Structures are given as structure tokens and as C-alpha cells.
């Protein structure tokens, strides 16, 4: 408990840099995106997404998954093994590591974003995706539901715990992929509006400037 005023200043992005593609390219597949730094500790994020993708494809959905970001060699080996086991070679594209300047272009290659990390407080990748007009499929733990809200994505039931990592059920993730593909246009619009309203870097800088100016004036 604190005495005095307080507020939440969320992580922020440049919403002029991270913006939706003006005209979506014609694609045969609805494309999901998974980004981040992939260590062995978060391999479950990748595996759960691949497992659900296989389930969705078995339901005759036309889906594709792009994975982008730095990956431990051991995780890269697991990725290749899992892609082979699930026969996903033509449906998964690993783009490797990327720089921050390349990030906006990568988001514009996708139609929706997947974040199944457990108990993530405020991931910038989710905010970048929302600013790029991508709806979010996410594990309903940590702070992600506070970022996405009710209309910009689909939250999947997951146990909140700081002792053990939990992942949504594969069938729930599969249904989430399908649901997102059916509602992505409306959800993507809401995602962009929320990002501009709550997470724009200009507002973040202005608010910090006001706070520090007020403190220094006292």
C-alpha cells in the first residue's frame, strides 16, 4: 500500500513504425506468428503451438506458422525433429534471428500472433503485434489479458502458478487458432486501436516528462 497518487505506465512501442499492412497480401494460408528468444526454458511455447497447428491442419484448416527470433541450438534441433514428426515441413517457416529494425516487416507477414508463455507480465512482442494489427492467441496468465482485453484476441484457460509452468490443452489451442482465423479482421482492428490508445511511445514519453517536471518543480 502506498500513500499518494499512482498509475500504470505500460511498455510502449512506436505505433507509426509498428503498423498494419495497408493491404494484406493474397495468401493461400492464414499465417500465425511466433516471435521471441527461444531457450530450452520456453520450448513449451513452440511445441504447444506446433501440436495445435497439426490438430488444426487435420481439421482441414489452411494454416501456416512463422517462427522468428534467436534460438538455442538444442531448441533448433527440437524444432526440426518436431516439424518432421508432425509432418509440418510445408507449413512452418523458421526465419531465424532478426534485428529490431526488421521487426515491423516480420509482423506484417502474419495475420495473427501466438503467445503461450506462462505468467508473462508485459511482453513487448504482444504490444508490437497489436500495433501491427494482429489479434492475439494467448495463455490467460500473467499480464497479457490486461494488455489484450476482451476484443483483441482469444485467451486460453491456464493455471496461474509461480512454481510450475502450465500450458493450455492442445485441443483448446487448436480451437483458438481456428477462432482467431474466423474473427481476425475485427479483432485485429481492436488490437490496433488499443495499441494506439494505451501503448504509443509518444504518450509514454509525454507522461514521463510530465511526472519528472512535476517532481522537479517541487
3-state secondary structure 83-134: HHHCCCCCCEEEEECCCHHHHHHHHCCCCEEEECCCCCCCCHHHHHHHHCCC
Average pLDDT, the chain: 95
Q: Of the ranges 21-25, 39-43, 138-142, which one carries the lowest mean pLDDT score?
A: 21-25
What does the pLDDT look like over 42-99, one tens digit per residue? 999 999 999 999 999 998 889 999 999 999 999 999 999 999 999 999 999 999 999 9
Residue 23 confidence (pLDDT) above 70: no
- Output DSSP code: residue 151: T
User: What was the pLDDT predicted at 24?
Assistant: 65
pLDDT in tens, 26-56: 678 999 999 999 999 999 999 999 999 999 9
Mean pLDDT of 170-193: 96
Amino acid at each position: 500500500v502506498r500513500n499518494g497518487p499512482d498509475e500504470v505506465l505500460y511498455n510502449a512501442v512506436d505505433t507509426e513504425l509498428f503498423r498494419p499492412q495497408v493491404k494484406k497480401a493474397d495468401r493461400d494460408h492464414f499465417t500465425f506468428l511466433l516471435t521471441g528468444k527461444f531457450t530450452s526454458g520456453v520450448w513449451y511455447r513452440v511445441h504447444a503451438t506446433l501440436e495445435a497447428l497439426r490438430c488444426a491442419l487435420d481439421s482441414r484448416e489452411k494454416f501456416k506458422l512463422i517462427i522468428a527470433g534467436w534460438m538455442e541450438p538444442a531448441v533448433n534441433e527440437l524444432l526440426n525433429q518436431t516439424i518432421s514428426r508432425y509432418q509440418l515441413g510445408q507449413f512452418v517457416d523458421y526465419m531465424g534471428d532478426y534485428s529490431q529494425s526488421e521487426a515491423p516487416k516480420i509482423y506484417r507477414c502474419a495475420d495473427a500472433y501466438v503467445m503461450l508463455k506462462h505468467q508473462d507480465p508485459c511482453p513487448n512482442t504482444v504490444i508490437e503485434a497489436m500495433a501491427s494489427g494482429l489479434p492475439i492467441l494467448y495463455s490467460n496468465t500473467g499480464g497479457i489479458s490486461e494488455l489484450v482485453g476482451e476484443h483483441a484476441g482469444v485467451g486460453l484457460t491456464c493455471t496461474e502458478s509461480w512454481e510450475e509452468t502450465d500450458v493450455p490443452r492442445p485441443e483448446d489451442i487448436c480451437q483458438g487458432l481456428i477462432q482467431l482465423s474466423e474473427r481476425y479482421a475485427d479483432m485485429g482492428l481492436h488490437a490496433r486501436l488499443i495499441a494506439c490508445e494505451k501503448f504509443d511511445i509518444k504518450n509514454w514519453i509525454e507522461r514521463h516528462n510530465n511526472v519528472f517536471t512535476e517532481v522537479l518543480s517541487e
